[in-house]
Chain A
Amino acid sequence: MSKAIPASCVNSVVTVSDSEIAPVTILSQGKKASTGLAIMDGDVVTYVTSSVSDIKDLISSLEVIIQQVVIITTALDGVTTTPGSAAATIAQLTFLKTQLGLTKENLK
């Protein structure tokens, strides 16, 4: 019968109630500070972190990238010989950014 205990991890060091656990198998990269569960089964300990914060960070980065693309496209559209031709593309990018924001807020 295994037991799951709240744990945290930073730089591949897993701690439970201020006690460092070693050896431990970390299923994620374990570099950035995280919280998760230490699953103990006999002397085998496995650390599982919640990936929600990683996914949120990734989506935030995508939002920034798309916003930059929107800005660049808008600027290019302003100097083209046919201004306004990129309006639909810009609208699509803006919509995509909005959708990413909604996805981030509604992560399972």
Chain B
Amino acid sequence: MKIKCLHGYFIFEETRAGQVSEFMSHYQGLSLTPVDNYFTFTAIANAPEYSLTGADFLGATATKSYEGKPWEIFKQNGFVYNFNTDSVVSKLTITQRAVLDGTANYFISNGLIMPGAVMDDGSRVIDYSAWHLSDKKYKYSEVTFE
């Protein structure tokens, strides 16, 4: 299953039947919901396509009024989806560390990278593309930071 993390918003695309349920079997308490032609975490599946400064946005307080796709709203407001707490939070609250192997075109790692995870140099993971291989193994590529 292909996974895209766009500014902390997740897009899952099945390449064969059963991949979504297989993925969910590894994450107790989390579920994926279909949105348009992809799946995403249920907690962010109904993300409004606009945010208003000071108003609630999926449990977080928006810092900017903006209209656009959910991942654009995440970007504008500095939000990410924290799949450990099943909530939308400011990326600045993410304290997890990310250790990436940048010596090849891709790398395989255990576990899904938390968007907003902090690198050794202080930068944060913002976007990535990954393939869910099996269990909790993922093949990562196109990881970007800021």
Interface class of chain A by DSSP = strand
B46-60 vs A, CB cutoff 8 Å, 1 = contact: the mask equals 000110111100000
Chain A to chain B contacts (Cβ below 8 Å), 25 pairs: A1-B49, A2-B67, A3-B49, A3-B50, A16-B52, A17-B52, A17-B55, A19-B52, A19-B54, A19-B55, A19-B65, A20-B53, A20-B54, A21-B52, A21-B53, A21-B65, A22-B65, A40-B50, A40-B67, A42-B66, A42-B67, A42-B72, A43-B64, A43-B66, A43-B67
Interface residues on A, range: 10 to 19
Q: List chain B residues, Cβ under 8 A from A54.
A: none
Shortest C-beta distance, A20 to chain B (Å), equals 7
Q: Which A positions have Cβ atoms within 8 angstroms of B?
A: 1-3, 5, 16-22, 40-43, 45
Chain B interface size, under 10 / 10 to 19 / 20 to 34 / 35 or more? 10 to 19
Q: State the B residues within 8 Å of A (CB).
A: 49-50, 52-55, 64-68, 72, 76
Tell me the complex Cα distance, A61–B118, Å.
65
Residues of A within 8 A of B49 (CB): 1, 3
